[in-house]
Amino acid sequence: MIRNALCLTGLAALLMSAAWQPARAASFDCSKAEAADEKAVCADRHLNDQAVEMAVLYTQLKPLLGMGARGDMEDEQAAWLKRRTACEADRPCLSNAYRERIQQLRGGFEALSKRGPF
């Protein structure tokens, strides 16, 4: 039940953010994209959608965590950004990086829901 509510909230935020910012990927402004990975994300609708989903999940999960876990999550995100940058313009690499990070973030929500009570 909680999982469905979290998914619906994430989906609503995803759709709203994608609808009013067509020139903006979730975590950066495409008009200012300079790195190869950023340009590739901005040029590919699927990658852009993954970027939006990842950013929504990250933004929603972060305030739900305690300070220590939040710091760990920020460190993981910084490490993930380095991995994404290493993909350069390789779209399959970027897609896999996003898919893995999205799974990690969803796992964070699942861990929270198991701890309950809510």
Q: Show the domain range for 79.
A: 2-115
**Separation between Cα atoms, residue 29 and residue 12, nearest integer Å:** 21
Give the tens place of pLDDT for each residue, 12-28: 555 455 444 445 555 78
**Separation between Cα atoms, residue 40 and residue 11, nearest integer Å:** 23
| Residue-by-residue DSSP string for 16-36 | HHHHH-TTB-SSSBGGG--SH
Give the tens place of pLDDT for each residue, 70-107: 999 999 999 999 999 999 999 999 999 999 999 999 99
Q: How many structural domains does the chain have?
A: 1
Question: Any idea what the Cα angle at residue 10 is, between residues 7 and 13, rounded to 5°?
Answer: 150
